[in-house]
Amino acid sequence: MLETGTKAPDFELPDQNGEMHRLSDYAGKKVVLYFYPKDNTPGCTKQACGFSERYPQFTEKGAVVLGVSKDTVASHKKFEEKYGLAFTLLADPERKVIEAYDVWKEKNNYGKVSMGVVRTTYLIDEKGIIVKANDKVKAADDPEKMLGEL
């Protein structure tokens, strides 16, 4: 996990509509950048729907929400449409950004060890500095918690 007080690495990734986004595009805004394992899984769906329900409150506080997983643009589009998600999902199938933000880790699931995305949320300020980093994320609680951080 990247440390608070450090500059967030810039990146360029496509969203669920195939449009490119850079972190630097959001200079002057707060960014909630969250990494999650997989579209359409129970925890990830709870987290995404929580961010979507609260999205107007995030925008009121001058923040944008960006969700990142290694799913494809097409997978993100289906996920967005199925749940009516109100924010941007970024596709990182090559794991460039996932690895730059140090969230690709060894995971232990019921004794089975594998590599995967550790659910992690970063709050990045208007100047691109990480002001909050959390890798002990409870999917259902994360949106409310991040709203509180703003």
Cα 92-97-102 angle, rounded to 5 deg: 125
Out of 44, 89, 91, 130, which one is annotated catalytic? 44
CA angle 57, 41, 11 (to 5 degrees): 60
Two tokens, residue 49? 């729907």
Ramachandran category for residue 36: left, alpha or beta (phi over 0 → left; psi -120 to 50 → alpha): beta
**Of 117, 110, 105, which is closest to residue 70 (Cα–Cα)?**
117
Residue 49 appears among annotated catalytic residues:
no
Phi, psi of 127 (to 5 degrees): -100, 5
What is 85-123 written as a DSSP string? --SEEEE-TT-HHHHHTT-EEEEEETTEEEEEEPPEEEE
Could you list the active site residues?
44
